[in-house]
Structure formats: C-alpha cells, structure tokens
Chains A and B, each alone.
Chain A
Amino acid sequence: GAVVSQHPSRVICKSGTSVKIECRSLDFQATTMFWYRQFPKKSLMLMATSNEGSKATYEQGVEKDKFLINHASLTLSTLTVTSAHPEDSSFYICSASKGTLNNEQFFGPGTRLTVL
C-alpha cells in the first residue's frame, strides 16, 4: 500500500497560538508533498507544494509567513499555522507523491483545526 498519516486528527486552539500539523508517508519515500485546505462544503484548495530539502512553493494568495512548511525528510512534512485566528479554522489535508511517472497522490486523513 501507500499510506499517509496526519497528526493530530483534530485540534482546538486559542486565537494567537501556533499549531503544527504533521504529514508522514508511512511506507514509501515522498519526494513531493502537498498541503490543501478545505472549508465546509467546498473543494480542496492547494496551499503549497513541498519538496524535500528545499523551500516550499506557495500558491497565489497563501501567506508563506503565516503557513510555515518544512519538509525535512522524505517521509515527513509539517505545516505550522502561526498566530492562528478563527478564520484559519478549516480542514487541512496533505498528500504525498512517490515522484514516479504515475502521478497518483496519496492523501492523508486530514486535520480539523478549530481556532477559538
């Protein structure tokens, strides 16, 4: 299989605090990982592309200083939501690609963030 995990599955935090979400590929090495955000009843919105050992590439309109991404190894990428506010409450989903010709992406189960 190709399993991607996320931790935590849900988190509640106070406004102004920072929250770190981990994305791990459990049984394969992921050269590229992607971070998405999904609001209720909406589609997934790509936030950034994360390549191991290099800086993430952010989509237009996504603040890189607000959403810090670190891809320190071939099996782990982290997304840190800094100084979270209620409008950052959302479902955050990561995916990982093996980087082969088949572009199948393997998605994590998602992390539900609620900022009070």
Chain B
Amino acid sequence: DAKTTQPPSMDCAEGRAANLPCNHSTISGNEYVYWYRQIHSQGPQYIIHGLKNNETNEMASLIITEDRKSSTLILPHATLRDTAVYYCIVTYSSASKIIFGSGTRLSIRP
C-alpha cells in the first residue's frame, strides 16, 4: 500500500503558485519524499525529492514539515502545461521500488 495521502484533485489559476499537500505520517527516519507527475498518456516525470530539508530546483520547491509527517510541493508559477496527476511517494534510496498512490489531479485554469 502507498504510504501517502493526497487530495484527489485541485485546481489553480494560471500564473499563480500551486501548492500540493501530502500526508505521510508513517514515514521512517531514512525514507525520502519524492514527487513525480504524469501528464496524460505519458510516463511519469521526476520533479523533486527531499529527506529533511526544504529543496528547490528549476521545476518546484518541496517543503517538508519538521516532524516529516507531511510535505507540500510548490509550483511557483503554474502554467497550462503543468496540468497533470502529481504523485507524492515515500521510499528508501538506492533503487528501492516505488509504490504509487492515487495522486492529485491538478487542473490549471487559464
């Protein structure tokens, strides 16, 4: 079973920040939080990952709470191309298998 809980759907206005929450209350100390997204009929795409500290890359920012029981993916300026299903995943490093939950379907309004 997936170890994360996400809202089934969200929407956001184009140009605004999209904040996608994820609960992972049973995360263990050496498990990472990964985010992937899947645009319709394509393979998933890696976005970002983190262990304890907040992370930022060219695609997004990841905010992890101090107790690590939840996190938020932030797309700073959402565009129509960000419409996708976003998956929050908790897993160990080193080629461990990934179990996908149901994800959040993000819709961007023009």
Contacts and interface: CB of A to CB of B under 8 A. Distances in A.
Contact of A43 (B34, B87, B92, B96): B87
A105 B93 contact: no
B98 interface: yes
A19 interface: no
A26 interface: no
The listed residue with most A CB atoms (<10 A of its CB), out of B36, B43, B91, is: B43
Interface residues of A, number: 29
Interface stretch (A67-75, A80-88, A93-101): A93-101
Interface of A is mostly: strand
B91 A103 contact: yes
A102 interface: yes
Interface size class of B (residues with CB under 8 A): 20 to 34
Given A43-B100, A104-B49, A110 B42 contact: yes
Contact of B43 (A100, A101, A109): A109
A95 B43 contact: yes
B92 A103 contact: yes
Interface of A: 4, 6, 31-32, 34, 36, 43-46, 49, 91, 93, 95, 97-110, 112
